[in-house]
Amino acid sequence: MIHFDRKDVDKMPYVFRINLMNSVSGYKSANLIGTKSKSGHPNLAVFSSITHIGSNPPLLGFFMRPTTEIRNTYENILETGTYTVNHIHSSIIEEAHHTSAKYERGISEFDQSGLKELYREDFSAPYVLGTPVQLGLSFVEEHPIKANGTILIIGRVEHVYIDDHLFRSDGFIDLTEGQIATINGLDAYAVPETNNRLSYQRPKPISSFI
Amino acid sequence: MIHFDRKDVDKMPYVFRINLMNSVSGYKSANLIGTKSKSGHPNLAVFSSITHIGSNPPLLGFFMRPTTEIRNTYENILETGTYTVNHIHSSIIEEAHHTSAKYERGISEFDQSGLKELYREDFSAPYVLGTPVQLGLSFVEEHPIKANGTILIIGRVEHVYIDDHLFRSDGFIDLTEGQIATINGLDAYAVPETNNRLSYQRPKPISSFI
């Protein structure tokens, strides 16, 4: 196996280190976060850090670095208290990835990527038209991460929209059936073709494998 | 599309809600966290919330609910300051999933699952033998989540071990080449077969799509 320790990582060139450190956690979620500023400018950005935190209340978290251009998303969430999370279907991977380009605040990544806004009653943040799973969230709390200045943003799921054909009767959403992408590292997208559901695990008799 | 709002979610039966809310974030990482108590008991547990937080310093986070049986992992991390993160290869999905069974503190999930401990010099936490990517981490900080009593645990990557054949010259780890799994919901595992790396995105001329 190839081995890098802490000192090796500290000495790595920038691009090498970000490729490595964005790959080491495993597959990541592939989502577009939609927001709108108080003054009416929509914003759309690809994120790969959206993570389940709890089911009751239903909470999702994601990490952002407020000092980069992506701060539009952060400012809009704080201004309006709402945002959307939209899953990336295999047919829009290139458009979704393009939202990672650094545009100025007044420019809409919807216009620049070709993705279309969808507005629903009583919710100011834009959803992404045609995406197979769409969530409307309200901002709950934020946690500044001391070790590197990023921020954990936590939101509560207020609305869930799911294409009918991926929804199962026990509440499971079949992401594979939805041709939903997953992200590897900074720039690789994969679309799993099959999945396998396993059963709930209970303890076996002690040391049954020995 | 099927629509659930906040009130629908509040009224859902337990299993339906946890299936839904564990599916809505998209694909999740599939990892085994290895720890050892100060008194020498090894512990192994499957986690799907391990998330990239930063590259310099290299930081990963994950969420846990300290009131469940999985607190063994939490207590061991606080006691020793170290833990490992090991990617789940397609050949050990069933063994890995079995570590979600609720065993008492004295029982080793290594013994019960058939997975093997691997110890390396100067690092007390056990790695999982044969996994394609293995990380050794040191505990950095924790954040209690007010909204539901879970805890975000943040660690610094001290060691990275990667099977040679999935490592690329620019630092990228090809998870697809490694036959590494991703998790959908609580119990479904998928192994992507292909991926596509896209280029770094720069802004296009304004409104070029309109």
pLDDT given for residue A68 in this prediction: 62
The answer to the question of residue A176 being in a domain is yes
Q: How far is CA A68 from CA A73, A100, A110, A143, A206, in A?
A: 10, 11, 19, 17, 52
The answer to the question of residue B79 being in a domain is yes
Which amino acid, B56? Answer: N
**Min distance B124 CA to chain A CA atoms (Å):** 16
Do the bridges between strand A195-197 and strand B28-29 make them parallel or antiparallel, or are there none, so unpaired? unpaired
Residue range(s) defining the domain that contains residue B64: 30-190
Helix (H, G, I), strand (E, B) or coil at A150: coil
The answer to the question of residue A10 being in a domain is no
Say if the Cβ atoms of B52 and A22 lie within 8 Å. Answer: yes
Give B70-99 pLDDT, tens digit per residue.
578 999 999 999 999 999 999 999 999 999
Note the ipTM here: 0.95
Interface of B with A in 121-180 (CB under 8 A): 133-135, 140-141, 143, 145-148, 150, 152, 154, 156-164, 167-168, 170-176, 180
Question: pTM (2 decimals)?
Answer: 0.96
B196's tokens: 């596509």
Give the mean pLDDT of A91-99. Answer: 97
Q: Name the band, by pLDDT with cuts 50, 70 and 90, for residue B205.
A: confident
Q: Is A170's pLDDT higher than 50? A: yes
Q: For the domain that residue A32 is a member of, what is the CATH number?
A: 2.30.110.10
Do the bridges between strand B2-5 and strand A151-162 make them parallel or antiparallel, or are there none, so unpaired? antiparallel
The answer to the question of residue B63 being in a domain is yes
- The number of distinct structural domains making up chain A is 1
Q: Which residue of A has its CA nearest to B123?
A: A5
Say if the Cβ atoms of A107 and B25 lie within 8 Å. Answer: no
Query: In this complex, is the C-beta atom of A106 within 8 Å of any C-beta atom belonging to chain B?
Result: no
The answer to the question of residue B181 being in a domain is yes
The answer to the question of residue B111 being in a domain is yes
**Min distance B92 CA to chain A CA atoms (Å):** 13
Q: Which residue of A has its CA nearest to B201?
A: A101
Give the mean pLDDT of B151-178. Answer: 98
Q: How far is CA A64 from CA A33, A118, A143, in A?
A: 12, 24, 11
Q: Name the band, by pLDDT with cuts 50, 70 and 90, for residue A105.
A: confident
Taking one residue from A and the other from B, the number of pairs with CB-CB distance under 8 angstroms is: 391
The answer to the question of residue A208 being in a domain is no
The answer to the question of residue A59 being in a domain is yes
Return mean pLDDT, chain B.
94
